[in-house]
Structure 1
Amino acid sequence: MKRYIIYLFLCLVSSLSLLSCMDSYLGIEQLDLGGGKPEKLTVDKVVSKPGALEIHFSLPAGNPKHSQVIATYINKAGNEVEFKVSRYSHIILVEGFTGTNEVSVELAVVDEGGNKSDITQVREKPLLSPVEIARQSLLATPAFGGVKLEWENKEAQPFAIHILTEDQIQMGEKTLIEDPSKTIYSSDSLNTATYIRQYDNVEQKFGFVLSDKWGNRTDTLIELITPFKEQLIDFNTVKPVAYFNPSYGTSGKDYALFGYNLETGVQNDGIAHSANFGPQTMFNGITAANNFLAYKFFKIPEGQPTQRTYVHDLYVTFDLNQDLRLSRVQIYPRPSASYLYARSSVKRFRIWGTNDANTTRWSKFPEGWILIGEYEGKMPANMASITQEETDYFYNKQEYAVSEDNKNPDAKPTESFRYMRLQLMESYTPTETFYTINEFKMFGEVLKSY
C-alpha cells in the first residue's frame, strides 16, 4: 500500500511539473520547450501580384524547432487577415488587397512551443486586384430580353457580380435593390460574358457591384438600359416535316442508297433511332432526358466494302408555324457525365431558314434558303479538370446569341423565317456515328402566326 501511495505522489509531482512548462498559444495549450522566442526571419524578395504580395523569406539558421511563419495585415474594414505557411516553405502569398497604395504586412516565426519572434515588417504596393480589373472592364449592353455583361478575369480568380434593379420602396421613390437570384459567379479566364434576363422592353436602371472572397466590394456601375424585345418561342407550335425524307433505324445507312433524293439531289434528313428519339422530342419542353438521337449516313469507299466513312452533316427540318426573327437559342445535351463535352453532344451546327415565298423550298437546298448562322460550342479551359462552372454551363446554360455568336460571314442572322433546317456538323467526339440533343430552345420576336 505504501509503495502504491508513493507511486501516485510521483505521478502527481510529474504532472504539476509538466503543467508548469505549458503556455497558452492561440487558445490551445502548447508545450513550452524552452529556449526563448525564435529569431526574426529575413525577407529576401517581395513580388507584387494582382491584389497580393508574394513574400520570399529565409528562416534563421540553426533552430530546428521552427514550426511556421505567420503573415498578418489589417484590411480596409479594420479586421486582421492572417496567412500561414510551414517551416518547409520559403514563400508566403498574402492576398486580399485592393488598390495600388503601399500596404503593411507583419511576419513572425513561431516555434513548436508557440513562442513567437519579433515582427518583420514588409511595406510594398500590390497590383490592381482581379475584382477591380473586372470592375474597370465591366461592360453592360442591351440584349434581347435583358442585358449582356462582359468583363476580364485573366487571373481566373473567383468573384461575384451582383445585379441590382430598381424597386419602389414608397410612393414616388425608387431605389436599387440586389436580386440574389441573378448573381453571377466567375472563376474562369475564358467564360467572361453572360446574359441576365428576363426584363421588359422598357428603359430601366441597372446596377452592378463586384465582390471577392476577401469581402472586398467595388463601387457600383449604374447604367440606363432598354432591353430588346424578346419572347420564348412556344415549342408546341414547332412540328417536324417529312419533305426531306426523314427515316427511322437503329444504325446509320448507306449514303449512296438512302442519303439523298435521287430526283433533287438534296440530302435527306437524318435517321432517328425511333419515334421516342425522333425530331419532335427536340421540341417538347424537356431539358433533362435522353431524347433526340439520329444516326449519320456513311459512305463505302470504292473497292473497300468493309470500310466506312461517315457523313458528319446531318439535317433535321421543321415548320415553326410562325414567322419569327431569332435572337438566341439554347441547346440542352444529355445530362449523363459521359456526354459532358464529349460523345454525340453537338459542338457545331448551322441554322437555315426560309418562308412561304420560296416555292421551291422542298426541292432545292441550299438554293432559296437563307443561312441564319453557324455556331460552335465552347471548350473547357482544361479538359482534364473541368470546373463546376463549366459543367453547369454545358448542361444548363449552353446559349448562342444568333447575331453575336455567329461564325459564318455569309450568314444573315437578322432575317425572319418560318421553316427551319438544322444542320448538325460536328460532335464533341468526331468519331461518334450519331448526334443527340435533349431540347432546342428558341427565343426571338414572333412576326406572324399561322
Structure 2
Amino acid sequence: MKNLFWINILPLLLLLSCKEEQPSVNIDDTLPAPQAVKNVTVKNLPGGAVLYYDVPDDKNFLYVKAEYEIRPGVIRETKASLYTDTLLLDGFGRQGEYAVKLYSVGRNEKPSEPVVVQVAPEEAPVRQAFHDLALTEGFGGVRLFFENPYMKDFAFCLIADTLNNGDWTALQTFYSKNSSGVFSHSGLNPKPIKVGSYIRDRWGNTSDTLVSTLTPLFEYMIPKPYGVFNLPSDSFEPAEGNAGRYAITGLWDGITNVENSNIFANSHVEPMPQTFTVNLKQSATLSRIKVHQRIKNEYTGSMVKKFELYGSNSNNPKDDLFGGDWVLLGRFESVKPSGPGAITAEDRNYANVQGENFELVPTDEIPNPWVPVRFIRFRTLETYNGPSERGQVIIAEISLFGQSTK
C-alpha cells in the first residue's frame, strides 16, 4: 500500500520539480535615478512626432516618460519601455513649437533630470479633415460629407442656429474612422436654416466650424402600416417554426427594441440574392429608406450588408424583376461608422435605434431615382455573413420617406 502511495504522488513531485522558478524582481529604493537619455532626434508628423534616443546603460532603468502640453492646460504623458529607443507623441491639435520633457525612470520609479526637446507637429488630421468637410441640403434635412485619409476616430458634430440669433444648438453627432462617407440628419422643416459642422478628435481637439445656410427639401414618412404583397419568387416565409414572431409585417410595426419578435426573419435556406415586396398603399416619389438592424446583432450574421431597391407604379406588378414593371432606384451598402474593428456603442445606436439612412441619389446608372412608385422591392445581395448562395435575412424595421404623387 505504501509503494502504491509513492507511485501515485511521484508524477506530481516530478511536475513540481520541473517548474521554472520565476526570478524575483528586487527593487532597491536606495538606488539613484538612471541617467537621462542622450542624442535625442525628432521626426515631426501630422498632429504628433517621433523621438529617437539612446537609452542609458543602467540596470535600474525601466522606461522613458514624456510629458508635454497638447493645448493650454492639458498635459499628456506617454511612455516607452526599456526595450525600445523610440517614443511616439500624439494628441497635438495645432501646429507650432511645443516643449517636451523626457525622463528616464528607474525600477524604483525615480525619474532622471528632464531632457527638454522641441517638436513642431505638422497639421493635425482633425484640421486636415476639415478642408474636405461639406454640407448640402437633403430631403427633410442636411447631408454631411467627409474625408478622413488617416482613418482617425472622429466625432462629426452638426449644430444649428435655429433662431438665427447666434445661439447654436447641437443637432446630432456622428462617429466614424472610415476614410470617407456621408451622414444625413433629418427632421428639419423645408425653410432656410443656418447649420454648422466641426470635427472633434479623441483628445478633445476641434477643427474650425463650417457654416452654411441651407433649405431642406420637403419629405415625409410614407404612412404605415404598409401592405403585404408577396410575389412567387419572393423570400417572405418566416424562419422555421416562427411564423408568429418573424412575419414580414414586423418590418412596419414600429418596434425595434425587441430581439426575438416583431422583426422580419426568413428561412435559413432561402436563395441569395433574395427579394421581398412591400405595398406602399399610395403613389410616391421616394427620397430615402431607413433600415433598422436587429438589436444586439448589429453588423453581424444575417443583417443586410448590400442591397438594391426597386420600385413599380403598376397597380399589379408582375414577378419578373427585369421584365419592365420594375425600375432600379438605388444600390446600397451598410457601413459600420466606426470602421474596421470592434462594434462600438455608437455603431449599435446608429444601426438599431436611429436606423441606417440610405438616400436615393442620381448616378450614371440611375440618372433619376425619383420616379413615382406604389410598390418597392428590397433585393438583398449579401448579409454580414458574407457572400453565399443561400442564407437568412433579418431586418427589424424599414421606413420609406418621400413625397406623395396623388
Q: Report the TM-score when normalising by structure 1.
A: 0.72
Secondary structure of the corresponding residue to residue 151 of structure 1:
strand
Q: Is 1:280 the counterpart of 2:244 in the alignment?
A: no
Q: Does 1:328 align with 2:288?
A: yes
| Match runs of 1:291-440 below 5 Å | 291-295=263-267, 311-337=271-297, 340-355=298-313, 358=314, 361-362=317-318, 365=321, 366-378=323-335, 385-396=342-353, 397-403=355-361, 409-410=365-366, 412-429=368-385, 430=388, 432-440=390-398
Q: 1:54–1:92: 8 Å Cα contact kept in structure 2?
A: yes
Deviations 1:74-96 (A, max 9, x none): 34424443333343442222222
Match of 1:105 in 2: 100
Match of 1:131, SS state, is helix
- The answer as to 2:226 corresponding to 1:271 is no
Q: Could you say what secondary structure the match of 1:175 adopts?
A: coil
**Residue in 2 aligned with 1:175?**
166
Aligned residue number for residue 6 of structure 1: none
Q: Secondary structure of 2:283's match?
A: strand
Shift of 1:275: 5.3
Structure 2: which amino acid aligns with 1:375? F
Q: Once structures 1 and 2 are overlaid, which stretch shifts more, 278-287 or 430-439?
A: 430-439
Q: What letter corresponds to residue 402 of structure 1 in structure 2?
A: L
Tell me the distance in 2 between the aligned counterparts of 1:72 and 1:363.
68
| SS class of match (1:134) | helix
Shift of 1:382: 7.5
State the alpha-carbon separation in 2 of the partners of residues 443 and 197 from structure 1.
Answer: 10
Query: What letter corresponds to residue 271 of structure 1 in structure 2?
Result: E
Q: Which amino acid aligns with 1:436?
A: I
Match of 1:135 among 116, 130, 138: 130
Is 1:33 the counterpart of 2:30 in the alignment? yes
What pairs with 1:43-54 in structure 2 (closer than 5 Å)? 43-54=39-50
- Whole-Å Cα distance in 2 between the matches of residues 380 and 74 of structure 1? 30
Change over 3 Å in CA distance of 1:115–1:197 after alignment to 2: same
User: How big is the shift at 1:205?
Assistant: 0.7
Q: Which residue of 172, 189, 193 maps to 1:200? A: 189
Q: How many residues align?
A: 370
Once residues 143 and 47 of structure 1 are traced to their aligned partners in structure 2, the CA distance between those partners, rounded to angstroms, is 44
Alpha-carbon contact 2:219-2:403 (below 8 Å) kept: yes
Counterpart check, 1:240 vs 2:216: no
1:372 touches 1:411 (CA, 8 Å); kept in 2?
A: no
Mark the runs of 5 or more structure 2 residues left unpaired by the alignment.
Answer: 1-26
Secondary structure at the aligned position of 1:271 is classed as coil
Structure 1 residue 41, shift from structure 2 partner: 0.8
Amino acid in structure 2 at the alignment position of 1:96 = G
| Per-residue deviation, 1:111 | 2.8
Tell me if the contact between 1:370 and 1:411 (Cα under 8 Å) persists in the aligned partners.
no
Q: Cα deviation per residue 1:177-203 (whole Å; 9 max; x = unaligned)?
A: 231x612233x1346431122211111
- 1:258-286 Cα offsets, whole Å, 9 max, x none, are xxxxxxxxx45643443543322211111
Contact 2:175–2:337 (8 Å) recurs in 1? no
1:57-83 CA-partner distances (Å, limit 9, x unpaired) = 22222x211233221223442444333
Paired residue secondary structure (1:281): helix
1:228, distance to aligned residue in structure 2 (A)? 1.5
Decide whether the 8 Å contact of 1:31 with 1:113 is kept in 2.
yes
| Shift in Å, 1:434 | 3.1
Give the letter aligned to residue 33 of structure 1: T
Alignment-derived partner of residue 402 in structure 2: 444
Query: In 2, are the aligned partners of 1:296 and 1:312 still within 8 Å (CA)?
Result: no
Query: Is the contact between residue 69 and residue 98 of structure 2 (CA under 8 Å) also seen in structure 1?
Result: no
Q: Is the 8 A contact 1:350 1:372 kept in 2?
A: yes
Work out the CA distance in 2 between the residues paired with 1:146 and 1:136.
22
**C-alpha distance in 1, partners of 2:159/2:286?**
28
Q: 1:125: how far off?
A: 2.3
- Conserved 8 A contact 1:133-1:152: no
Task: Please say if residues 161 and 185 of structure 1, whose CA atoms lie closer than 8 Å, have aligned partners that are also in contact.
Answer: yes
Quote the offset at 1:415 in angstroms.
Answer: 0.8
Aligned to 2:38: 42
Instruction: Work out the CA distance in 2 between the residues paired with 1:65 and 1:269.
Output: 69
Write out per-residue CA displacement over residues 84-122 of structure 1, whole angstroms, 9 at most, x where no aligned residue.
334344222222223333332221223345543333222
Aligned to 2:79: 84
Check conservation: 2:308, 2:330, Cα contact below 8 A.
Answer: yes
C-alpha contact (below 8 Å) 2:70/2:93 kept by paired residues: no
Check 1:34–1:426 CA distance in 2 against 1; reply closer, same or farther (3 A cut).
closer
Is structure 2 residue 175 aligned with structure 1 residue 209? Answer: no
Whether 1:230 and 2:219 are equivalent positions in the alignment is: yes
Find the aligned partners of 1:364 and 1:32 in 2 and give their Cα distance. Answer: 82
Code of the residue aligned with 2:272 in structure 1: it is H
Describe the superposition over 1:34-54 as per-residue Cα deviations: whole angstroms up to 9, x where unpaired: 44x532212454222221111
User: How far has the Cα of 1:225 moved from its partner?
Assistant: 1.2
CA offsets per residue over residues 300-353 of structure 1, 9 Å max, x none? xxxxxxxxxx6324332232122111111122232244xx44433233333222
One-letter amino acid of the structure 2 residue matched with residue 318 of structure 1: V
Structure 1: gaps (5+ residues): 1-29, 246-266, 298-309
| Alpha-carbon distance, 1:162 to partner | 2.8
RMSD: 3.1
Please say if 1:94 is aligned against 2:60. Answer: no
C-alpha displacement of 1:137: 1.8
